[in-house]
Amino acid sequence: MDTTSTPDAVAQGHAHGSAPTNADTPASLVVVRHPLVQHKLALLRDRRTPTKIFKELVDEIAMLMAYEATADLALAEVSVETPLERTVGHEVSGKKLTLVPILRAGLGMVEGILRLVPAARVGHIGLYRDHDTLEPVDYYFKVPGDAAERDFFVLDPMLATGGSAASAVTSLKRAGATRIKFLCLVAAPVGVRRLAEAHPDVTIYCASLDRELNPQGYILPGLGDAGDRLFGTR
């Protein structure tokens, strides 16, 4: 794997958490360029990184990305009594958060986000990519019943063709969800375009907007098969 090429988003040099300036990238894309995210992403890309460390890095990056993606959560004032006096604090008051990993690689992002938002529920969407057509095949869908009352974070480390991502969001909307964000680690331009065109209301968070897909549907420079590297099935 050529890990020497520079992913577009890093080359653009925009501040962490900001939208890219490239005219081809949609307004709904946020590239999280926090230095710790970029440092951990470089380790994640390295082919020599073993499964245990790969898992820990996905977990940590997901947590840092969730920090950015939760920046607009609604707050309400609460009265707090400190050991010295009564004061006004703030608590998260908006809709309840639900994480929806796309099986199986999305599972690797759940625990890190739950450490930040322990009260979040976890749904699951089972989609796999047909290796010939590269189109998503749907085999499992389970989310909380009160979907309209919830914020959703759809999780998948790799936004490649965008087929699985768009299909997952369509299924969530069919279940009543209206407030959905998509969190991935590495995105391909074609995947971002496809998801943004199908669902312009969904903000897409990634740690890197990479160069392209190869003919087998792998992101370049990418990090290989995220599911295999997470679960040691390579």
Catalytically active residues, by annotation: 129, 133, 225, 228
CA pair distance 26, 39, nearest whole angstrom: 25
**Which of 30, 160, 168, 207: binder of ligand URA (CB under 6 A)?**
160
**Which of 100, 158, 165, 192: binder of ligand URA (CB under 6 A)?**
158
**106 lies in the binding site for ligand URA (CB under 6 A):** no
**102 lies in the binding site for ligand URA (CB under 6 A):** no
Selected range binding ligand URA among 3-11, 48-56, 172-180, 224-232, rule: CB under 6 A:
224-232
CA pair distance 143, 20, nearest whole angstrom: 32
Tokens of 56: 């820990």
SS3 category, 85: coil
Residues 31-90 binding ligand URA (CB under 6 A) are: none
**Which of 99, 162, 219, 221: binder of ligand URA (CB under 6 A)?**
219
Helix (H) or strand (E) segment spanning residue 221: none
Q: Give whole-number Cα distances, 104 to 22, 164, 226, in Å.
A: 31, 12, 9
CB closer to ligand URA out of 129 and 173: 129
SS3 category, 203: strand
CA pair distance 74, 68, nearest whole angstrom: 14
CB closer to ligand URA out of 29 and 147: 29
CA pair distance 61, 46, nearest whole angstrom: 15
Q: How many residues bind ligand URA (CB under 6 A)?
A: 10
**225 lies in the binding site for ligand URA (CB under 6 A):** yes
CB 182 within 8 A of CB 205: yes
**227 lies in the binding site for ligand URA (CB under 6 A):** yes
Which spans of this chain sit near ligand URA (rule: CB under 6 A)? 105, 158, 160, 217-219, 222, 225-227
Q: Name the binding residues for uracil.
A: 219, 224-226
